[in-house]
Structure formats: C-alpha cells, structure tokens
C-alpha cells in the first residue's frame, strides 16, 4: 500500500518529518504545536497553544482528505499537569461529540521551552 506524505506550511524547517501521512485508510498526523499564531507571533498560554495546534491539526487532516470527526486516537503531551483542565476545555471545542480515544502524558519538556502542549493524532478515512 503506497504512502502519501503531506507537508504543510508552518512545519519546523530542517526537521525530518511529515505533517501527515496517509497509508490506506489511516491518516497519521505528527505532533502539532501551537507556539506561534497565524501572524508568527508567540502564543504563551496553554489555551492559545492548544487552540492553535488543533487548528493546524484540522488543516493537516483536510490535506490528507480527512477531518477532525475521523480522528480515532490522540496523544497529548503536556509539560504541566496543572494546565490539563484548560487544555481539556479547548480540546472539547474541537471534539464536541464522540471524542477520540486519548492518552495524556505529562513530560519533563518538549523540544523547545516555549512549547507547552503537543498533540498527535490518528484518523480512519476509508
């Protein structure tokens, strides 16, 4: 089964990864971060970063022919457990009904200190 690769603007330059890949009916979206807004200005809150990264995830899914409603599993990486409730409120806005299975992992840090939350996803789109 051939793999399709989708690289979107806003991907981290010089880092060897694809924004999303599609293999058969499965779409894998790389961990998305939302540290910069659409104008390239820093976002310093978990609320803002979560909203921005989920908007980017939606775009990556659409590029692969899927949507947020096709997401079957997400993994959330956060640096501060105290930010969970805020992240969860924003997450519910993007997955209001029948949310995907989810794991949330509290980590010592992400690739850059200003990154507070990262979410990756798998979708099923036959």
Both structure tokens of 15: 């880092």
d(CA 110, CA 33): 10
Residue 98 Ramachandran class (φ > 0 left, ψ -120 to 50 alpha, else beta): left
Task: Please state the rounded mean pLDDT for residues 100-109.
Answer: 98
CB 43 within 8 A of CB 49: yes
pTM exceeds 0.85 for this model: yes
pLDDT in tens, 16-70: 778 899 999 999 999 999 999 999 999 999 999 999 999 999 999 999 999 999 9
* Beta carbons within 8 Å of 24's beta carbon, 6+ residues apart: 1
What's the distance, CA 3 to chain centroid? Answer: 20
């Amino acid at each position: 089964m051939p793999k399709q690769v989708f690289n979107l603007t806003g991907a981290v330059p010089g880092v060897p990864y694809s924004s999303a890949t599609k293999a058969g009916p499965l779409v894998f979206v790389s961990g998305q971060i939302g540290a910069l807004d659409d104008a390239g200005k820093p976002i310093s809150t978990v609320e803002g970063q979560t909203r921005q990264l989920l908007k980017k995830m939606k775009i990556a899914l659409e590029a692969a022919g899927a949507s947020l409603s096709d997401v079957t599993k997400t993994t959330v990486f956060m640096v501060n457990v105290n930010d969970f409730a805020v992240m969860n409120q924003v997450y519910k806005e993007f997955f209001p009904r029948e949310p995907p299975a989810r794991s949330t992992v509290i980590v010592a840090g992400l690739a850059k200190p200003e990154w507070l939350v990262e979410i990756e996803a798998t979708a099923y789109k036959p």
